[in-house]
Amino acid sequence: MKWTGAGRQTKAGDLVLLMGQRQKYHLIPLIEDGEFQTHRGVLYHNDLIGKPWGSKVSSHKGNPFYILQPGIEEIIYSTKRNTQIMYPKDIGYILIKLNIVDGSTVIEAGTVSGSLTQVFAAIIGDNGHLFSYEAREEMQNLAKKNLHRIGLEDRVTFIQKNIEEGFEQENIQSLVLDLPNPYDYMDVVKNALIPGGFFGCILPTMNQIVKLLTALKRSAFVKIEVTEIMLRHYQAESNKLRPTDRMVAHTGYLIFARSFEKNFEE
Amino acid sequence: MKWTGAGRQTKAGDLVLLMGQRQKYHLIPLIEDGEFQTHRGVLYHNDLIGKPWGSKVSSHKGNPFYILQPGIEEIIYSTKRNTQIMYPKDIGYILIKLNIVDGSTVIEAGTVSGSLTQVFAAIIGDNGHLFSYEAREEMQNLAKKNLHRIGLEDRVTFIQKNIEEGFEQENIQSLVLDLPNPYDYMDVVKNALIPGGFFGCILPTMNQIVKLLTALKRSAFVKIEVTEIMLRHYQAESNKLRPTDRMVAHTGYLIFARSFEKNFEE
Amino acid sequence: MKWTGAGRQTKAGDLVLLMGQRQKYHLIPLIEDGEFQTHRGVLYHNDLIGKPWGSKVSSHKGNPFYILQPGIEEIIYSTKRNTQIMYPKDIGYILIKLNIVDGSTVIEAGTVSGSLTQVFAAIIGDNGHLFSYEAREEMQNLAKKNLHRIGLEDRVTFIQKNIEEGFEQENIQSLVLDLPNPYDYMDVVKNALIPGGFFGCILPTMNQIVKLLTALKRSAFVKIEVTEIMLRHYQAESNKLRPTDRMVAHTGYLIFARSFEKNFEE
Amino acid sequence: MKWTGAGRQTKAGDLVLLMGQRQKYHLIPLIEDGEFQTHRGVLYHNDLIGKPWGSKVSSHKGNPFYILQPGIEEIIYSTKRNTQIMYPKDIGYILIKLNIVDGSTVIEAGTVSGSLTQVFAAIIGDNGHLFSYEAREEMQNLAKKNLHRIGLEDRVTFIQKNIEEGFEQENIQSLVLDLPNPYDYMDVVKNALIPGGFFGCILPTMNQIVKLLTALKRSAFVKIEVTEIMLRHYQAESNKLRPTDRMVAHTGYLIFARSFEKNFEE
């Protein structure tokens, strides 16, 4: 069941966001005869199935919960993971720069926990496709579970392989690397991309960027951009409007480029 | 003809990115028997139609051009406009926060020049739909032309109307306002959104945020967030890696919230 | 004894920075026959007095410590306080904008814990003078102790008074307010400043700035600037150069202006 | 005549800030019988000498000008230069981190146009001293002229020398390098500083920081910090409070460390 196709009422198989008091929320799949334990009491799934979105229900202790549709951001943050997730601020910009839209054909490597995988799958639709490479089996299995949870596994082909042997696809429009050493793979990236195709990656350190820039120029990529997205939160108080005290200062640098023929720039 | 559905070769009707020397580029639709004048010579469209993406062609003066698929970012920047466009850094984050994915049903007001309109249309696919409100006729016509250029008009219903009279839809998942006074419309926004639905807007000044926060709380929105996205570019030189000298310091603050029942927060 | 006048050797009365293993440090005044307890053992002050700066000494447990001169930043951070200190990033910019140099005559209100007081005193020298206003007695006493510790009390006159009654000085060059409601005092500020004198203040919220801008214009201040200083730290690792994960996102906005005759701007 | 020692009235030799309409200003030294041409008319210096600060005078065309004391920031921005100046945001933070206060003994290299030179001279007072090294004669002459303009030449010794031969002083408290290759001089820096002394430098690129970090660790510096100061300006309009559209994104990274004995960090 696809999480995004929901109508006005919940069905078994839907992923729902249960929001309790103080805006605390839980993300769970509805399963017939299921039970969900919270410290504010038990909720019976059968009481939740078939309800209009936005309905108010009560736990066995009488505490109120609201049934909401989860958004892609809540799905990212609730992704089971054993590594750092990619942040919404970075994912959003990658979508635009890599031209990820309905119908896009995309490669990503590595899959890691699958946070980017889920967003790509949600956007490319049934006419697009994502090929997701990951060398580590247990990592790939985790990503598969995460994708299964939102019902979008048909849009993704998982491939367990070390990409130094090359990608199995050609003429791909968009390709993103989430690996510590992307600079080692610029030639295989180029072979997989359609001429003019979109390349992007995220890297935490300046030392990695230096190496990547050298590799990108050697492999004749053009429109190379090195950027960084900073997100600042403000206190949402109308009479005390100010930034929050602390912020995430760094997640990674985003580097983008387009595949190209050699020796055009002379 | 949909810009995103392109195969391996160009066809009449496709939007193409012609990249000349020094990475200067032009975005044009291919028209049978058409001509395109550049200061590096004339290109005949019939020479461009039917070519594989990435092909090299020459102007009548012998200057090289490459035929590439345009990306959504290049489409945004080449949008004909009579106002400020929305920036990719902000659009990307809005996509995630407003849960704009394949199949989403979305309202935007105002349409303005249609930069957000085009990105939403490209992402929601044929299963989604966008209702785009704009009170000014000439502004709406411009947006229609921009959307027609990328062949996605079937995914958008344009409505010329002042939204203070209310939206014509209900149970909408996501709604974005790009207006100077969103705080005047919180009740009509609420009536259009499905309970739990996603609201967002962009505002340039702090004074506007103060008013909006008051209105959001009065209309019982929850999960209110005030944020700001800053984008920093770096020189893409491996031996002189540093930020560029100047940057855009401000486009607007992004405010997000979710529609909700009154009086839950007691 | 003035902390800044130190020769090549320590003397009783000097403030010293004792740096132990892992760069942990302590800031203490040297007192004849004194003892200093650390969890790495006891240090006897008499063993520290008369030593060249940079000397290595040992605790009774044999752990090494180095005797260094403290810098003004370490003094700020070790200031005893019952409120938020002002941060070095903001203080540094205030010094330049308010023209705090050798010989400056300055007013500050309130004194608070005296972190700005200490920096001003260290810079203005014996030819300058600082008048420091604070309404709360216990706060002023704390600031006096902090100033005494660095031996610069001769450069500061502490005045316990609510400034709405006005300042006792005239023709002052520079005046800084660290108060929540500076907008209530623009006329008394103007009476204290020499025409053209420098005004500055720090405010955490946008709502306060809005009020202050109105007050500054009403009282005919010119060259009004609203600014914000952001400090980003990087990991000091040559092979993993990147920003630290988190940062202080906000301390306060800095507002500067110069006192002026009324009605010049017509 | 020292610029900072001004009383309540102007004297021949004073540096004055003449502010005309629209807050346009000029920084000039008062010279007996001098004339100052502006496009709003001529001002005769004798009409300006002996006037109280803040006085209003008129050009021969009847346009009003106000006589103000210049601040250190206006002096920095009006420094005659043939290179990039150092920005107030960076200078302010350097003052705190390098412990530049009344009485400080400081080395800087290179002098360049002397913007930092002037600020240091204004702060250290007659009890402090600055040794300023510069290899290029014409650059040094420019800095001397700039320092002469503010009357502080007694506080600075200019030395024309390439610092790879070493500094002529020892036991210096604070030392700042404004050179492209500071990493080549860490041993001579160490020989000049008192143990525990303060070192700082400004560098535009990440590549230079990588080299410097290696050199600092090799020469046993401690408390190494790599930082960056960002300054954001806001529109000073109470009903349209927002950041300005564009900002300076980068001037340089600031690196600080303290000189130390070898091999303490084991």
Question: For position B54, what pLDDT does the model report?
Answer: 85
Q: Across the interface, do A54 and B195 touch by the CB < 8 Å criterion?
A: yes
Which mean pLDDT values do the consecutive 10-residue runs of chain B (266 residues) have?
Answer: 69 90 87 93 94 90 92 91 88 98 96 95 96 96 93 96 95 96 97 94 98 95 96 97 97 95 50
Q: Across the interface, do D244 and B250 touch by the CB < 8 Å criterion?
A: yes
CA terminus-to-terminus distance, chain A: 53
Determine contact, residues B112/B137, Cβ cutoff 8 Å.
no
| C-alpha atoms less than 13 angstroms from C-alpha of A187 in its C-beta half-sphere | 4
Determine contact, residues D143/D86, Cβ cutoff 8 Å.
no
CA separation (Å) from D40 to A162, B94, D19, D27, D54? Answer: 73, 51, 12, 15, 19
Chain D residues closer than 8 Å to C173 by CB: 69
CA separation (Å) from B15 to A154, B40, B82, B98? Answer: 29, 20, 22, 28
Digit-coded pLDDT (tens) for C80-92 = 887 788 999 999 9
Determine contact, residues D3/D11, Cβ cutoff 8 Å.
no
Digit-coded pLDDT (tens) for D74-110 = 999 988 887 788 999 999 999 999 999 999 999 999 9
pTM recorded for the entire structure:
0.95
**Cβ count near D60 (within 10 Å):** 12
Is D6's pLDDT higher than 70?
A: no
Q: Residues near D30 by Cβ (< 8 Å), separated by ≥ 6? A: D10, D11, D12, D13, D14, D15, D16, D45, D48, D49
Question: For position C226, what pLDDT does the model report?
Answer: 98
Does B236 contact D at CB distance below 8 Å?
Answer: no
Pairing label, strands A129-134, A56-58? unpaired
Nearest CB among B2, B76, B227 relative to A234 is that of: B227
Give percent helix, percent strand, percent coil of chain C, each to the nearest 5: 30, 30, 40
Chain A residues closer than 8 Å to B95 by CB: 92, 95-96, 123
Cis peptide bond prior to C71, omega within 30° of 0: no
CA nearest to C238 within chain D: D210
Q: Across the interface, do A207 and C240 touch by the CB < 8 Å criterion?
A: yes
- Give residue for tokens 């990249």: B19
Is A266's pLDDT higher than 70?
A: no
The SS3 of residue D230 is strand
Residue among A241, A251, A255 with most chain C CBs within 10 A, to mutate: A241
**Overall average pLDDT of the C188-203 stretch:** 95
Chain A residues closer than 8 Å to C205 by CB: 240-242
| Cα dihedral B241/A112/B256/A30 (nearest 10) | 180
CA terminus-to-terminus distance, chain D: 53
Q: Across the interface, do B249 and D239 touch by the CB < 8 Å criterion?
A: no
C115: left (phi over 0), alpha (psi -120 to 50) or beta: alpha
CA nearest to D240 within chain C: C210
Does C93 contact D at CB distance below 8 Å?
Answer: yes
Chain A residues closer than 8 Å to C245 by CB: 248-250
Does A207 contact D at CB distance below 8 Å?
Answer: yes
Q: Which two tokens stand for residue B101?
A: 């994915």
Determine contact, residues D124/D103, Cβ cutoff 8 Å.
yes
Percent of chain C whose pLDDT exceeds 90: 80
Q: Give the containing element (helix H, strand E) for B168.
A: none
Q: Give how far D198 is from chain C: nearest CA, Å.
A: 8
| Cα dihedral A196/A197/A202/A207 (nearest 10) | -40
Question: For position A254, what pLDDT does the model report?
Answer: 98
Percent of chain A whose pLDDT exceeds 70: 96
Q: Which two tokens stand for residue D223?
A: 């408390």
Nearest CB among A241, A248, A250 relative to C242 is that of: A250
Rg (CA), chain C: 21
Q: Which two tokens stand for residue A194?
A: 């359609």
Digit-coded pLDDT (tens) for D14-49 = 899 998 888 788 999 999 999 999 989 999 999 999
Task: Give CA–CA dist D164/C51, Å, rounded.
Answer: 31
Q: Which two tokens stand for residue A69?
A: 């549709």
Does D88 contact C at CB distance below 8 Å?
Answer: yes
The SS3 of residue D199 is strand
Pairing label, strands C25-29, C35-38? unpaired
| Paired residues of D256 in beta bridges | D200, D225
Q: Of A86, A235, A90, A72, which is closest to residue B93 (Cα–Cα)?
A: A90
Pairing label, strands A64-68, A56-58? antiparallel
- Place A249 in a pLDDT band, splitting at 50, 70 and 90: very high
CA separation (Å) from D155 to A58, D107, D162? Answer: 77, 12, 21
The number of C-beta contacts closer than 8 angstroms across B and D is: 49
| Residues of D (17-46) whose Cβ lies below 8 Å from C | 17, 19, 23
Chain B residues closer than 8 Å to D84 by CB: none
Residue among C203, C205, C206, C232 with most chain B CBs within 10 A, to mutate: C206
Does A180 contact B at CB distance below 8 Å?
Answer: no
Chain B residues closer than 8 Å to C207 by CB: 210
Task: Give C80: exposed, middle or buried? Use CB within 10 Å, 0-12, 13-18, 19+.
Answer: exposed
| Paired residues of C126 in beta bridges | none
Task: Give CA–CA dist B49/B51, Å, rounded.
Answer: 6
Does C66 contact D at CB distance below 8 Å?
Answer: yes
Does D207 contact A at CB distance below 8 Å?
Answer: yes
- Place D266 in a pLDDT band, splitting at 50, 70 and 90: very low
The SS3 of residue D134 is strand
Digit-coded pLDDT (tens) for A96-141 = 999 999 999 999 999 998 999 999 999 999 999 999 999 999 999 9
Question: For position A32, what pLDDT does the model report?
Answer: 95
Determine contact, residues C143/C173, Cβ cutoff 8 Å.
no
**DSSP 8-state secondary structure symbol assigned to residue C17:** E
CA nearest to B65 within chain A: A264
CA nearest to C206 within chain A: A241
CA D55 to chain centre: 28
Task: Give CA–CA dist A109/A189, Å, rounded.
Answer: 10
CA nearest to C263 within chain D: D21
Rg (CA), chain D: 21
- Give residue for tokens 């979710």: B258
- Place D265 in a pLDDT band, splitting at 50, 70 and 90: very low
- Give residue for tokens 């650059």: D139
Whats the size of chain C, residue-wise?
A: 266
Task: Give CA–CA dist C239/D207, Å, rounded.
Answer: 11
Cis peptide bond prior to B110, omega within 30° of 0: yes
Determine contact, residues B176/A207, Cβ cutoff 8 Å.
no
Digit-coded pLDDT (tens) for A183-223 = 999 999 999 999 899 999 999 999 999 999 999 999 989 99
Does B54 contact D at CB distance below 8 Å?
Answer: no
Question: For position A236, what pLDDT does the model report?
Answer: 96
Q: Give how far C233 is from chain B: nearest CA, Å.
A: 15
Is C263's pLDDT higher than 70?
A: no
Task: Give B74: exposed, middle or buried? Use CB within 10 Å, 0-12, 13-18, 19+.
Answer: middle
Question: For position B8, what pLDDT does the model report?
Answer: 82
Q: Of A171, D20, C55, which is closest to residue B52 (Cα–Cα)?
A: A171
Task: Give CA–CA dist A195/B57, Å, rounded.
Answer: 14
Task: Give CA–CA dist B195/B173, Å, rounded.
Answer: 8
Is D177's pLDDT higher than 50?
A: yes
Q: Residues near A198 by Cβ (< 8 Å), separated by ≥ 6? A: A97, A98, A99, A173, A174, A175, A256, A258, B71
CA terminus-to-terminus distance, chain B: 53
Does A48 contact B at CB distance below 8 Å?
Answer: no
Residue burial A10-37, b: 16+ Cβ < 10 Å; e: rest: bebebbbbbbbeeeebebbbbeeeeebe
Does D249 contact A at CB distance below 8 Å?
Answer: no
- Place A4 in a pLDDT band, splitting at 50, 70 and 90: low
